[in-house]
């Protein structure tokens, strides 16, 4: 799961891209059915006055990520003949697939947004493709993608949530000598320059796909929601046109007036795999797809959380249908001999070290965790808390008012996700705050290697050397430094300042699935 996907180089030379960009030479390169139509499309002059450009080009996997991909973009006015030309990395575009239009009108501004989704199927596993998205009178926009492997194969994915936009909200500054009592917003985005860095960070790692754990751009807090989405897509299309960014809906995707429960914008921009129990109101809010031997399940937590974090309080909107679907989905994944890993992508968290931010939500511990335990979910990725942390593996809950999760192990280098409810230890009744050091990684350190944070007061792991995300202390430092120098022999960084983190190694039980540990 953590191995890099190096079997294909999707880097395109400028020469190839130019060749694919519809120059005269392109027409001669086209083969297959519809080549004349494709050539005409690419050679037709665009008319920027008559038609808006393709904007926010991005991808989504279909339910079978090895053979299905959806190409999406959007505009602020309806366009004619939206379509995708798909082909090979050498520039030959072989097939035309029509895109379907969907739209919403933002309740605050009255601005209509039109999204176009072209569903590609019948693709070969682990195959790389060049594609162009266009509509009449618009220049084509190009991207590449790679389908997922089928069966057990290494691949890489990335994950985070709560990105925002790189454009920071600011007000109009009038010329010298002019005074405006209440200057209007140039934009009122919530974001930071880091919103750009993270996009480029993903693209630099070139994962097969990215799991986006909700709260995409905070459009629901903006006066101009459509502009916020626009800026978000301008930024993220740089990566999401080359690899799917598969989302889960967070509380900031809840925009008052945009659909009965506020998710119409999110549902318009994304075309996600269909799932049971959904209506037009809940379409796309929960779904699953398979990559190799990993089943990914994305769920929408506003259905169960108690915290009121969106524009409107919508807890219980699926009337239990999402939970019914989730249990069926988890049971099916566990019964499937071809599935080794079950990964859940969601927004709000079941546990957290934070007590002055959003915090963990009891609703998740009540509704989801028993299912995760019963069906042995291996990994859960979340957002909502605006910092990085990872817990020890947890299985089971204490019988207290907060349903405090119980850590199943405290090792940090290898995690056996088949660990069940622990039969010893952690029997004292504790609340969430006092169990913090047992659930999170600082528990593995002696007391004199923990320091209290000057800002938040929490005790944190302190060590000059960190490896695989954990602090290394005492005599163990020497061996860690030897390993470190093997990895980076030419590094000029002094060892005690170098933090290298290759992530946890998640290991499944050999006998359970009959496969070797990853
Ligand atoms: Fe959130």
* Mean pLDDT for the chain overall: 80
Residues with Cβ within 8 Å of residue 513, at least 6 apart in sequence: 337, 340
Distance, CA 154 to ligand 1 centroid (Å)? 31
Residues 7-63 pLDDT 10s: 444 444 434 443 444 333 333 333 344 455 555 555 556 676 778 999 999 999 999
Distance, CA 384 to ligand 1 centroid (Å)? 4
Residues with Cβ within 8 Å of residue 388, at least 6 apart in sequence: none
Distance, CA 222 to ligand 1 centroid (Å)? 15
Distance, CA 302 to ligand 1 centroid (Å)? 10
Distance, CA 149 to ligand 1 centroid (Å)? 32
Distance, CA 474 to ligand 1 centroid (Å)? 39
The structure tokens 């990085």 sit at 388
Residues 378-420 pLDDT 10s: 999 999 988 888 888 888 999 999 999 998 888 777 777 765 4
Distance, CA 504 to ligand 1 centroid (Å)? 25
Distance, CA 309 to ligand 1 centroid (Å)? 7
Distance, CA 347 to ligand 1 centroid (Å)? 7
pLDDT greater than 90 at residue 342? yes
Distance, CA 386 to ligand 1 centroid (Å)? 9
Distance, CA 351 to ligand 1 centroid (Å)? 14
pLDDT greater than 70 at residue 119? yes
The structure tokens 């509380």 sit at 251
The structure tokens 């220049």 sit at 139
- From the list 25, 35, 23, 12, the residue with the least C-alpha distance to 89 is 12
Three-class SS string for 229-274? HHHHHHHHHHHHCCCCEEECCCHHHCCCCCCCCCCHHHHHHCCCCC
Contact 363, 305 (CB under 8 A): yes
Residues 415-452 pLDDT 10s: 777 654 333 222 222 223 333 445 554 434 445 555 55
Distance, CA 93 to ligand 1 centroid (Å)? 41
Distance, CA 301 to ligand 1 centroid (Å)? 10
Contact 188, 224 (CB under 8 A): yes
Distance, CA 60 to ligand 1 centroid (Å)? 22
| 1: exposed, middle or buried (Cβ count in 10 Å: 0-12, 13-18, 19+) | buried
Distance, CA 444 to ligand 1 centroid (Å)? 29
**Residue 208 vs residue 24, higher pLDDT:** 208
Distance, CA 377 to ligand 1 centroid (Å)? 22
Distance, CA 210 to ligand 1 centroid (Å)? 18
Distance, CA 18 to ligand 1 centroid (Å)? 41
Distance, CA 508 to ligand 1 centroid (Å)? 31
pLDDT greater than 60 at residue 335? yes
Distance, CA 218 to ligand 1 centroid (Å)? 9
- From the list 296, 247, 262, the residue with the least C-alpha distance to 148 is 296
- What is the rounded average pLDDT of the residues 60-88? 97
Residues with Cβ within 8 Å of residue 289, at least 6 apart in sequence: 61, 62, 63, 64, 65, 246, 273, 295, 296
Position 102 scores a pLDDT of 98
Distance, CA 246 to ligand 1 centroid (Å)? 17
Distance, CA 77 to ligand 1 centroid (Å)? 31
Distance, CA 216 to ligand 1 centroid (Å)? 9
Q: How far is CA 275 from CA 43, 101, 155, 193, 325, in A?
A: 40, 20, 25, 36, 8
Residues with Cβ within 8 Å of residue 430, at least 6 apart in sequence: 398, 400, 404, 438
Q: How many CA atoms lie within 13 A of 30 on its CB side?
A: 26
Contact 275, 288 (CB under 8 A): yes
> If pLDDT is split at 50, 70 and 90, which confidence band does 495 have?
very low
Distance, CA 1 to ligand 1 centroid (Å)? 27
Q: How many CA atoms lie within 13 A of 451 on its CB side?
A: 7
- What is the rounded average pLDDT of the residues 218-225? 94
Distance, CA 327 to ligand 1 centroid (Å)? 24
Distance, CA 215 to ligand 1 centroid (Å)? 5
Distance, CA 428 to ligand 1 centroid (Å)? 32
Residues 150-171 pLDDT 10s: 999 999 999 999 999 998 888 8
* 5-14, 104-113, 239-248: range with lowest mean pLDDT: 5-14
pLDDT greater than 70 at residue 471? no
- What is the rounded average pLDDT of the residues 246-260? 97
Distance, CA 343 to ligand 1 centroid (Å)? 20
Distance, CA 41 to ligand 1 centroid (Å)? 43
> If pLDDT is split at 50, 70 and 90, which confidence band does 192 have?
confident
> Do the bridges between strand 55-61 and strand 170-171 make them parallel or antiparallel, or are there none, so unpaired?
unpaired
Position 114 scores a pLDDT of 98
- For 96, the token pair is 């035309």
> If pLDDT is split at 50, 70 and 90, which confidence band does 1 have?
very low
């Amino acid at each position: 799961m953590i191995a890099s996907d190096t079997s294909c180089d999707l880097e395109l030379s400028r020469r190839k891209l130019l060749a694919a960009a519809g120059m005269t030479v392109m027409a001669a390169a086209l083969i297959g059915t519809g080549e004349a139509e494709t050539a005409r499309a690419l050679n037709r002059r665009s008319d920027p006055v008559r038609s808006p450009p393709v904007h926010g080009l991005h991808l989504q996997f279909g339910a079978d990520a090895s053979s299905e991909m959806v190409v999406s973009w959007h505009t602020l006015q309806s366009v004619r003949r939206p379509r995708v030309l798909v082909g090979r990395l050498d520039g030959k575009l072989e097939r035309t697939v029509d895109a379907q239009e969907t739209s919403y009108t933002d309740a605050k501004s009255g601005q209509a947004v039109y999204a176009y989704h072209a569903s590609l199927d019948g693709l070969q596993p682990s195959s790389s493709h060049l594609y162009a998205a266009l509509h009449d009178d618009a220049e084509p926009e190009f991207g590449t993608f790679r389908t997922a492997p089928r069966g057990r194969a290494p691949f890489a994915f990335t994950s985070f949530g709560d990105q925002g936009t790189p454009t920071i909200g600011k007000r109009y500054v009038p010329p010298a000598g002019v005074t405006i009592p209440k200057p209007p917003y140039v934009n009122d985005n919530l974001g930071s320059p880091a919103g750009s860095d993270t996009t480029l960070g993903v693209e630099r790692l070139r994962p097969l796909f990215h799991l986006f754990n909700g709260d995409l751009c905070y459009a629901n807090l903006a006066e101009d929601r459509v502009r916020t989405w626009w800026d978000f897509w301008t930024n993220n299309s740089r990566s999401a046109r080359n690899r799917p960014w598969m989302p889960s809906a967070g509380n900031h995707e809840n925009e008052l007036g945009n659909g009965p429960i506020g998710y119409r914008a999110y549902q318009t921009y994304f075309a996600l795999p269909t799932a049971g129990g959904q209506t037009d109101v809940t379409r796309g809010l929960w779904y699953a797809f398979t990559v190799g031997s990993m089943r990914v399940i994305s769920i929408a937590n506003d259905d169960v959380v108690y915290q009121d974090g969106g524009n409107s309080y919508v807890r219980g909107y699926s009337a239990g249908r999402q939970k019914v679907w989730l249990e069926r989905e988890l049971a099916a994944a566990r019964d499937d001999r071809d599935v080794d890993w079950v990964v859940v992508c969601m927004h709000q968290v079941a546990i957290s070290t934070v007590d002055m931010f959003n915090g963990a939500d009891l609703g998740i511990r009540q509704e989801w965790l028993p299912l995760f335990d019963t069906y042995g979910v291996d990994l859960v990725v979340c957002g909502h808390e605006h910092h990085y942390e990872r817990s020890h593996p947890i299985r089971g809950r204490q019988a207290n008012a907060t349903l405090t999760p119980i850590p199943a192990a405290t090792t940090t280098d290898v995690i056996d996700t088949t660990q069940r409810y622990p039969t010893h230890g952690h029997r004292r009744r504790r609340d969430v705050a006092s169990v913090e050091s047992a659930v999170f990684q600082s528990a593995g350190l002696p007391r004199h290697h923990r320091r209290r944070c000057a800002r938040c007061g929490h005790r944190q792991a302190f060590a000059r050397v960190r490896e695989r995300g954990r602090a290394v202390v005492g005599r163990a430092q020497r061996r860690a430094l030897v390993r470190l120098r093997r990895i980076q022999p030419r590094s000029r960084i002094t060892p005690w300042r170098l933090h290298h983190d290759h992530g946890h190694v998640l290991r499944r039980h050999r006998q359970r699935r009959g496969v070797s540990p990853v």
